[in-house]
Every structure is written in structure tokens, then in C-alpha cells.
Amino acid sequence: MLYHDRKMYPEAVHYLRQFIELSAHMPDKAAVGTAYTVFSACLKEMGDREAAVRCLEEYLQLARGGDQHGTALASCALGIMLYEQADLDAAVSYFEKFFETARTLADRPMLEAARVNLGVARGAARMGAWMGVVAGNLPKLIAWKSSRVPFTDH
């Protein structure tokens, strides 16, 4: 983690890869999850976004074996990464998994984060269709807006 914090990504990747390879025999699931998350962040910073996504997907598969908190965090991280890459449908899918898992954990701050992330991703995914409707009917929309009765303070 120290190498990541100092932006020494190749060194961080080297040691995190070793840790992840040895982690199959470790009972500390939180440490394994942190290692995968930081490993993915290092790969992303080094410009290999596809490998970063694969890394998080691998961790998500491991976490599904009983680590609900890890499943939630991996789903959130994948959703964020895919949202940044403008893969909105996939981001929505992962944020939905994040939301569902957060609901089962009864972790209110996590649930609020899941709700916000899911709402933003769904809104962004639907924005293109909405703008298409608005652009296609712009004269009607302007006519409707200009004919509306203004509010009064009576």
C-alpha cells in the first residue's frame, strides 16, 4: 500500500501480485479485498483499465463465496470504473449488485452510497434517449413552455 500511496505503481503491482497469489490460504478476507482493490487501482493508474476491471471481477468471484462486504465493495469499485469508461449499462448492473448486497448488510452509509451511485448511473444511461426525445420535439417543448400559465402569489 505504501508504494501505491507514493505513486510507485510498478513496485506496488509486484508486491500486491505476490500477496494475492499467497492470499488463497489467508483467513483475513478484508486484507485480501484491500489488496485486490489497490492492485486494480495501480493497474488503472498505469493505463491498463481492462486488467484493472478483470482484477476486480476476479475478486468479485472470490468474494461471492461468503464475503458479502467484499462483494459489495468489489461491485461498487467495478461500477465506478465502468462508469468512468462510459460503459453505462455494465456500470448500472454492478451498482445494482452493490445496492442489493448493501441492503442485506444493513449498513446504512453503504446503502446510501449504493443508492446514489445507482441513481447517477441509471440517469446517465437514460440521458441519451431523453436528449433524443427532447431534440426531436424541441419546437413542441418550447411552445408548451411558453404557453404555460405563470405562477401567482395569491
pLDDT digits (tens, 9 = 90+) for 128-149: 888 887 788 888 778 777 887 6
Query: What global pTM score does this model have?
Result: 0.76
* Domain residue ranges in the chain: 2-147
C-alpha dihedral over 39, 42, 43, 47, to 10 degrees?
A: 170
Q: Does domain 2-147 have CATH number 1.25.40.10?
A: yes
Closest-CA residue to 19 (of 38, 37, 6, 32): 32
Q: What is the pLDDT of residue 89?
A: 95
